[in-house]
C-alpha cells in the first residue's frame, strides 16, 4: 500500500495536468461567516471554442458566457460544496470552490482551575480558557497574555468543520511581581489573508499573596532629626509591624521610627502577614563617645562580684559611672575609672559610663555596659504524663520542670535518652529575673526503649563572655518500661536428642521477646502439646511455637527432628559359607543414620567381606552417630568342606611292626570320617587306624575319607612290608613291583587330579593341629 501511494500521486498529477481544467474563481477562495452571504464568479481563463459554464450540475442552466456569477444569500450548511463545471466540444471538467465557513466563538472565558481568591506566591496554578462554539477548530489559536506580554499559545490538532467547544490550559507560578497582573486569553481564528481579523478575549485580574521580605536584613542609622528607621516592606496582605529593643518600653506598630528620638542600640522591626514574617535590624549609633569600656559586656552570677573599667584618652571635664550600685562620682583628671560591685543582687542593673566632652551640640556622652545576671536552676525535674508501663508505638509526653533560672532567653533544655541528645528546647520570651520553666518532649517509645533512661538538662549559654563550659544542671534519670508485642527471633528447624523437651528449644527463653514476658505454647499436628514432655523418636514433625502476651500473639513453624543414638539389633551368632559374601547382618537404627564399623580381634575390618575357612570367631560391631555409640558382639561360624592336613603318606615297615595311620582332617560342620582298604570299609568314625603285627596282607593302599554337607575329601596312605624276598621267586617280586608301581602311578594321578580340583579353595595345613579347629557348631 505504501508503495502505491507515490504512484497514485503521480497518476493524479498527470491526470490533473492532462485534464487541465481552465476554470478559475474570483475570489480565489471563499472565507465566509456562517449565516452571512458571499458571491463568487467562475470564469474560463483560455479561449476555447464552443464552451459553456454551469454551477453544481450538468443539467443546471448552461450559460454560454466566459464568466458566471453565484451569490449565496445565507450560508447555512457547514459542509457546503460549490462546484463550477465547464464543457466545450473538446473537453468537459469541473472545479471545486475552496470554501471555509467560520464562526467566531459565542464566548471566551478565563478562570483558575480549582481555585478561588488570591494565589500564593510560588505555588502552581492552572489557568483555563473556555472557548464556546467556534469553527473551524484547526484555525483556532488561544493566545495567553500577562498584561501585554504573550505568555504562550495553544493550538488544536484535531480538525472539524462544525463548531465545537474548546478548553485550553496554562500553568503559572505567580510571584510577588504578579500581584495585580492581568491574565488574558484570546481566541483567534487565523483564516488567512481573505479572512477578517478575528479575536475574542477574556481577562482575569490576579491577586498574589506573598510574605514580607526586606531587601536587606540590617541597616546602620546615625541618629539624626531627619533620618527615619523605615521598616516599610511590600507584602500581600499588607503586613503589620512590631518593634523590639531594650530601649523601647511600649509597643510600637508603625512602620517608621524617628531616629533622633531613639537611644543608640539595636531596634528590630518585624513585618508580619498571614504568610510569614521578616525582620530587619536597625543599628542606631550616636556619633562616637570617646570612652572604652573593658570588658564591653559583663556576665555575672547573681550574688558574685563584678567590675568594669571605663577608659578615655581625651581631655575631658569629668567622667563617672552611674549605676544603682557601685556608681563612681564624676572625677576629673582621671583617664580610667572602675565600676565594681562585690556582691551583685540586682537583676536589671544598667550601669553606664559618662564623660563630659563636647560632641556636636551635646556636652556629655555616655556608653552603657550591658550586664547579664544569671542564676542556675534550683532544681531540674523530669516527669511523664503517664504512670505504669508504656505501650510500644504510643505517644507520651515528657515534662521537664526547671525552677528558678535566669535569664530564660539563655536557657536551653537538652533532652537525653541515655547518652543520646534527642532534642533541645529554647524559650522565646525574655526575662531578667528568675522564672520557673517547663519544657515538653513527645516520645513514641519502641521495644528498644524498654528500660531506657531519659533525662533533661538545663543549660545556660551566656555567650563568649559567660562561663565556659556552660553551666548545666541535669535531672535525675527517668527509667521507662515499654510493653511490646511478642516477637520470635529464632525460628529454624531443630534436631534435639530424644528425651529432650520443647522447653529446651534453642533460646526458647531468649529468642522470644516481648513484654510482659510472653507465654509460650506449642502445637503439633493441630493440637497443643506440652512443652515439658520429653520428645520420643516418633515425635519428629512440623511444630508451631506460639508466643502470646497481653498485646498480641505471634507464631512460627519449624521442623523438629528427634535424634537418638544408634541401636544395634544383632543375633548372637551367624553362619556363613566360606568365600561367600558376608553382609552386615544387624539392624542399625539411629538418627542421624549411624555409621558401622566391624572389628575382629580389635582390628577393624570391612563389614562386608568374603570370609576364609579359618575366619570363624568373635566379632564386634560398633555403630556411631553424633548422638552416641552402640556395640554388639556376635560370633561368625564359617562353614566349609573337609580339608586334610599334610602328614606322612608312605610307610615302609618290617613284618610284625605296629603302624598307626592318622587322618588329620578338618571341616565345618565336623566331617564324617571313615577308612577303607582295597575299596572295603574297614573303620568308621575314627580318625586313625592301628595296624598291629603287620603281615604281607597288611600291605596296600589305605584311604581316609572325610565328608560333610559341603563336600568330600579322600587321602591315601601306602603301606609296604619289608622282608618278603625269599618267600616269593624273584620274577614274582618284579611283577609285583611293576604292579605296585602301576597302582602307585594311578593313585598319584588320582591324587594329583584331586589336588588340582581343590586348589584355590583351601590349602592343607602343614602343621599338626587339633581337630577341633573347626570352631563351635
Ligand atoms: C463578477 O462578475 C460581475 C459581472 O461580470 C462583475 O460585476 C463583478 O464585479 C464580478 N465579481 C467579482 C468578485 O469578480
Ligand atoms: C471545436 O470547434 C472548433 C471551432 O468550431 C473547431 O475548430 C475544432 O476542431 C472543434 N474540435 C472538435 C474536437 O470538434
Ligand atoms: C507553552 O505551553 C506548552 C504546553 O503547556 C509548553 O510545552 C511550552 O513550554 C510553553 N511555552 C512557553 C514559552 O512557555
Ligand atoms: C524537636 O522538637 C520540636 C518541637 O517539639 C520538633 O518540631 C522537632 O522536630 C524536634 N526535633 C527532633 C530532631 O526531634
Ligand atoms: C517557682 O516555683 C516555686 C516552687 O513551686 C515557687 O515557690 C516560686 O514562687 C515559683 N517562681 C515563679 C517565678 O513563679
Ligand atoms: C587362614 O587361611 C588363609 C588361607 O586359607 C591363610 O592365608 C591365613 O593366614 C589363615 N589365617 C589364620 C589366622 O590362620
Ligand atoms: C564400643 O567399642 C568401642 C571400640 O571398641 C569402644 O571404644 C567403646 O568404649 C565401646 N562402647 C561401649 C558402649 O561399649
Ligand atoms: C563306607 O562307609 C561310609 C560311611 O559309613 C558309607 O557312606 C559308604 O557307602 C561305605 N562304603 C562301602 C563300599 O560300603
Question: pLDDT > 70: what percent of the chain?
Answer: 90
CA of 683 to the centre of ligand 8 (A): 10
Higher pLDDT, 686 or 544: 544
**pLDDT tops 60 at residue 5:** no
Greatest Cα pair distance in the chain: 191
Instruction: Looking at the structure, tell me whether residues 654 and 702 fall in a common domain.
Output: yes
Instruction: Kindly state whether residue 764 falls inside one of the protein's structural domains.
Output: yes
Distance 49 CA to ligand 2 centre (A): 7
Percent of the chain with pLDDT over 90: 55
**Mutation test residue for ligand 1: of 24, 25, 26, 37, the one with most atoms within 8 Å of CB:** 26
- Contact criterion met (CB below 8 Å) for 686 and 702: no
Q: Which ligand is nearest to the CA of 142?
A: 3
> Residue 290 — very low, low, confident or very high, per pLDDT cuts 50/70/90?
confident
User: pLDDT value at position 292?
Assistant: 86
Averaged pLDDT for residues 174-195: 88
**Contact 736/696 with Cβ under 8 angstroms?**
no
Average pLDDT over every residue of 691-696: 86
pLDDT tens-digit map of 588-621: 899 999 999 999 998 999 888 999 988 999 999 9
Looking at 125-134, 483-492, 678-687, 763-772, which range is the least confident one? 763-772
Cell 490550559 belongs to 169
Q: What is the pLDDT of residues 638-650, one digit of tens each?
A: 999 999 988 888 9
**Could you tell me if the CB of 50 is within 6 A of ligand 2?**
yes
Top mean-pLDDT range of 361-375, 438-452, 648-662: 438-452
348, 374, 400: which is the final residue of a domain?
A: 374
Ligand 3 centre and the CA of 710: distance in Å? 111
Give the pLDDT score at 776.
Answer: 36
Whether residue 366 lies inside any domain: the answer is yes
Does the residue 640 lie in any domain? no
Please check the confidence at residue 197 and state whether its pLDDT lies above 90: no
582 in the same domain as 621 = yes
Asked which of 258-272, 586-600, 676-690, 758-772 is least confident by mean pLDDT, the reply is: 758-772
Residues 78 and 175 in one domain: no
Name the residue range of residue 277's domain.
Answer: 211-287
Verify that 221 and 246 share a domain, yes or no.
Answer: yes
Q: What is the DSSP string of 263-324?
A: -SEEEEEEEEETTEEEEEEEEEEPSPPSEEEESSSEEEETTS-EEEEEEE-S--S-EEEE-S
Residue 590 class from Cβ within 10 Å (0-12 exposed, 13-18 middle, 19+ buried)?
buried
Question: Which atom of ligand 7 is closest in space to residue 597's alpha carbon?
Answer: 4
Q: Residue 10 — very low, low, confident or very high, per pLDDT cuts 50/70/90?
A: very low
CA distance 390 to 483: 6
Burial (CB count within 10 angstroms: exposed 0-12, middle 13-18, buried 19+), residue 613: buried
> 690 with 708, same domain?
yes
Position 634 in a domain: no
Range name among 153-162, 366-375, 502-511, 712-721 with the lowest pLDDT average = 502-511
What's the confidence (pLDDT) of residue 768? 36
| pLDDT surpassing 80 at residue 87 | no
pLDDT score of 394 more than 80: yes
Comparing 27-31, 158-162, 197-201, 416-420, which segment has the lowest mean pLDDT?
Answer: 197-201
pLDDT for res 396: 96
Give the residue with greater pLDDT, 172 vs 728: 172
Nearest atom (ligand 8) to Cα of 676: 1
* CA–CA separation, 30 and 98 (whole Å): 6
Average pLDDT over residues 397-424: 95
pLDDT of residue 337: 94
Q: Which atom of ligand 7 lies nearest, measured to the CA of 599?
A: 5
Q: Is the CB of 681 under 6 A from ligand 8?
A: yes
What local confidence, expressed as pLDDT, does residue 766 receive?
A: 35
The pLDDT value given to residue 191 = 85
Q: pLDDT category, 21, cuts 50, 70, 90?
A: confident
pLDDT digits (tens, 9 = 90+) for 90-142: 777 888 888 999 999 999 999 999 999 899 999 999 999 999 999 999 999 99
Q: Does 62 score more than 90 pLDDT?
A: no
CA of 126 to the centre of ligand 3 (A): 13
pLDDT at 743: 87
Domain shared by 491 and 536, yes or no: yes
Tens of pLDDT, residue by residue over 167-178, are: 999 999 999 999
Which pLDDT score is estimated for 63? 74
Cβ(49) to ligand 2 under 6 A? yes
Q: Which ligand lies nearest the alpha carbon of 703?
A: 8
Residues 410 and 369 in one domain: no
Please check whether residues 537 and 610 belong to one and the same domain.
Answer: no
Domains contained in the chain, number: 9
Ligand 5 pocket: which of 436, 438, 458 to mutate (most atoms <8 Å of CB)? 436
Q: In this structure, what CATH number is given to the domain that contains residue 358?
A: 2.60.40.10
- Give the Cα separation of 156 and 148 in Å (integer): 23
- Note whether residue 639 is domain-resident: no
Smallest-distance ligand from the CA of 686: 8
Q: What is the mean pLDDT of residues 509-534?
A: 88
**Cα dihedral 761→767→769→775 (10° resolution):** -30
Instruction: Decide which of 422 and 287 is more confident.
Output: 422
Q: What is the pLDDT of residue 738?
A: 85
Is the model's pLDDT at 56 over the cut of 80? Answer: no
Q: Is the pLDDT of residue 8 over 70?
A: no
Both 713 and 654 in a single domain?
yes
Give the mutation target among 25, 28, 42, 69 for probing the ligand 1 site: most ligand atoms within 8 A of CB: 69
Q: Of ligand 8's atoms, which has the minimum distance to the CA of residue 681? A: 1
Average pLDDT over residues 420-425: 93
What DSSP state is assigned to residue 236? B
Q: What radius of gyration, in Å, describes the C-alpha atoms of the chain?
A: 65
Looking at the CA of residue 88, tell me the nearest atom of ligand 2: 1
Give me the mean pLDDT over the 199-226 stretch: 86
The answer to whether residues 12 and 93 belong to one domain is yes
Asked if residue 189 and residue 158 are part of one domain, the reply reads: yes
Mean pLDDT on 667-684: 90
Which range is most confident: 362-376, 391-405, 514-528, 646-660? 391-405
Residue 707 in contact with ligand 8 by CB distance below 6 A:
no
d(CA 540, CA 563): 9
Q: Hey, whose CA ends up nearest to atom 11 of ligand 6?
A: 614
Q: Which residue has the higher pLDDT, 378 or 366?
A: 378
SS3 750: helix
Q: Is residue 193 part of a domain?
A: yes
Terminal C-alpha separation, the chain: 104
Residue 61 has pLDDT above 80, yes or no: no
Provide mean pLDDT across the span 414-421: 94
622 touches ligand 7 (CB under 6 Å): yes
Instruction: Choose between 313 and 269: higher pLDDT.
Output: 269
Average pLDDT over residues 556-569: 94
Final residue of a domain: which of 209, 227, 246? 209
pLDDT at 4 over 80: no
Q: Which residues contact 438 (CB under 8 A, 6 or more apart)?
A: 399, 400, 401, 402
With the most atoms of ligand 5 within 8 angstroms of its CB, the residue from 380, 402, 404, 435 to mutate is 404
Query: Looking at ligand 5, which residue's alpha carbon is closest to its atom 10?
Result: 436
Q: What is the mean pLDDT of the chain?
A: 86
Final residue before a domain boundary, out of 266, 287, 308: 287
Which residue's alpha carbon is nearest to atom 13 within ligand 2?
90
C-alpha cell at 546: 506460639
Same-domain pairing of 274 and 299: no
90 Cα nearest atom in ligand 2? 13
Ligand 2 pocket, mutate which of 47, 90, 91 (most atoms under 8 A from CB): 90
Looking at per-residue pLDDT, the higher value among 768 and 389 belongs to: 389
Q: Which ligand is nearest to the CA of 412?
A: 4
Ligand 8 centroid, distance to 512 Cα (angstroms): 86
Amino acid at each position: 500500500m505504501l508503495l502505491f501511494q507515490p504512484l497514485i500521486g503521480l497518476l493524479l498529477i498527470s491526470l490533473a495536468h492532462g485534464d487541465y481544467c481552465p476554470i478559475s474563481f474570483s475570489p480565489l477562495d471563499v472565507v465566509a461567516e456562517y449565516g452571512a452571504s458571499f458571491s463568487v464568479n467562475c470564469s474560463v481563463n483560455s479561449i476555447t471554442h464552443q464552451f459553456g459554464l454551469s454551477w453544481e450540475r450538468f443539467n443546471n442552466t448552461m450559460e454560454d458566457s466566459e464568466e458566471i456569477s453565484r451569490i449565496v444569500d445565507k450560508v447555512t450548511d457547514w459542509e457546503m460544496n460549490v462546484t463550477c463545471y465547464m464543457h466545450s466540444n473538446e473537453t468537459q471538467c469541473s472545479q471545486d470552490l475552496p470554501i471555509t465557513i467560520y464562526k467566531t466563538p459565542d464566548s471566551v472565558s478565563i478562570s483558575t482551575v480549582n481555585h478561588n481568591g488570591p494565589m500564593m506566591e510560588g505555588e502552581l496554578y492552572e489557568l483555563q480558557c473556555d472557548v464556546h462554539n467556534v469553527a473551524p477548530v484547526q484555525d483556532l489559536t488561544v493566545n495567553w497574555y500577562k498584561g501585554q506580554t504573550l505568555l504562550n499559545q495553544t493550538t488544536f490538532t484535531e480538525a472539524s468543520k462544525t463548531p465545537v467547544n474548546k478548553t485550553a490550559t496554562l500553568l503559572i507560578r505567580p510571584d510577588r511581581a504578579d500581584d495585580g497582573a492581568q491574565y488574558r486569553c484570546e481566541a483567534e481564528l487565523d483564516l488567512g489573508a481573505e479572512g477578517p481579523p478575528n479575536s475574542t478575549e477574556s481577562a482575569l485580574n490576579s491577586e498574589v499573596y506573598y510574605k514580607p521580605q526586606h531587601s536587606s536584613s540590617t541597616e546602620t542609622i546615625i541618629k539624626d532629626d531627619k533620618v527615619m528607621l523605615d521598616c516599610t516592606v511590600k507584602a500581600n496582605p499588607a503586613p503589620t509591624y512590631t518593634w523590639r529593643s531594650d530601649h523601647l518600653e511600649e509597643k510600637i506598630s508603625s512602620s517608621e521610627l524617628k531616629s533622633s528620638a531613639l537611644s543608640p542600640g539595636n531596634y528590630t522591626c518585624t513585618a508580619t502577614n498571614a504568610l510569614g514574617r521578616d525582620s530587619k535590624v536597625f543599628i542606631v549609633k550616636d556619633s562616637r563617645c570617646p570612652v572604652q569600656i573593658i570588658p564591653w559586656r559583663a556576665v555575672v552570677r547573681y550574688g558574685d562580684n563584678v567590675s568594669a573599667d571605663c577608659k578615655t584618652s581625651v581631655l575631658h571635664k569629668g567622667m563617672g559611672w552611674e549605676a544603682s550600685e557601685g556608681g563612681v562620682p564624676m572625677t576629673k583628671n582621671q583617664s580610667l575609672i572602675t565600676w565594681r560591685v562585690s556582691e551583685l543582687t540586682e537583676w536589671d542593673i544598667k550601669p553606664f559610663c559618662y564623660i563630659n566632652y563636647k560632641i556636636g551640640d551635646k556636652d556629655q556622652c555616655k556608653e552603657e555596659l550591658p550586664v547579664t545576671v544569671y542564676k542556675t536552676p534550683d532544681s531540674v525535674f523530669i516527669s511523664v504524663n503517664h504512670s505504669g508501663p508504656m505501650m510500644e508505638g504510643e505517644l507520651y509526653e515528657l515534662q521537664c520542670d526547671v525552677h528558678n533560672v535566669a535569664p530564660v532567653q539563655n536557657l536551653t533544655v537538652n533532652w537525653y535518652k541515655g547518652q543520646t541528645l534527642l532534642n533541645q528546647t529554647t524559650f522565646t520570651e525574655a526575662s531578667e529575673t528568675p522564672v520557673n520553666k517547663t519544657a515538653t518532649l513527645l516520645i513514641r517509645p519502641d521495644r528498644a526503649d524498654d528500660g531506657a533512661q531519659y533525662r533533661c538538662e538545663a543549660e545556660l549559654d551566656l555567650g563568649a563572655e559567660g562561663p565556659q563550659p556552660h553551666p548545666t544542671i541535669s535531672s535525675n534519670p527517668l527509667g521507662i518500661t515499654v510493653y511490646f508485642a511478642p516477637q520470635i527471633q529464632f525460628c529454624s528447624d531443630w534436631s534435639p536428642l530424644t528425651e529432650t523437651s520443647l522447653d529446651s528449644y534453642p533460646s526458647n527463653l531468649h529468642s522470644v521477646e516481648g513484654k510482659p514476658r510472653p507465654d509460650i505454647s506449642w502445637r503439633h499436628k493441630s493440637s497443643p502439646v506440652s512443652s515439658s514432655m520429653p520428645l520420643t523418636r516418633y515425635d519428629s514433625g512440623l511444630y508451631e511455637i506460639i508466643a502470646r502476651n497481653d498485646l498480641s500473639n505471634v507464631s512460627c513453624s519449624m521442623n523438629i527432628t528427634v535424634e537418638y543414638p544408634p541401636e544395634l539389633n544383632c543375633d548372637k551368632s551367624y553362619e556363613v559359607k566360606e568365600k561367600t559374601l558376608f553382609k552386615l547382618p544387624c539392624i542399625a537404627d539411629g538418627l542421624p543414620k549411624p555409621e558401622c564399623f566391624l572389628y575382629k580381634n580389635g582390628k577393624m575390618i570391612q563389614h562386608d567381606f568374603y570370609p576364609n575357612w579359618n575366619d570363624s570367631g568373635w566379632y564386634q560391631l560398633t555403630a556411631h552417630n553424633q548422638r552416641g555409640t552402640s556395640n554388639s558382639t556376635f560370633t561368625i561360624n564359617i562353614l566349609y568342606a573337609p580339608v586334610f592336613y599334610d602328614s606322612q603318606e608312605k610307610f615302609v615297615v618290617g613284618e610284625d611292626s605296629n603302624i598307626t595311620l592318622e587322618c588329620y582332617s578338618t571341616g565345618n560342620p565336623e566331617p564324617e570320617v571313615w577308612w577303607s582298604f582295597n575299596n572295603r570299609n574297614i573303620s568308621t568314625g575314627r580318625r586313625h587306624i592301628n595296624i598291629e603285627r603287620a603281615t604281607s596282607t597288611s600291605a596296600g593302599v589305605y584311604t581316609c575319607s572325610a565328608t560333610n554337607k559341603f563336600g568330600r575329601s579322600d587321602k591315601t596312605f601306602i603301606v609296604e612290608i619289608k622282608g618278603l624276598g625269599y618267600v616269593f621267586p624273584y620274577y614274582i617280586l618284579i611283577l609285583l613291583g611293576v604292579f605296585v608301581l602301576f597302582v602307585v602311578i594311578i593313585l598319584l594321578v588320582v591324587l594329583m587330579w584331586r589336588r588340582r580340583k581343590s586348589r584355590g579353595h583351601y590349602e592343607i595345613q602343614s602343621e599338626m593341629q587339633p581337630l577341633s579347629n573347626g570352631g563351635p557348631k
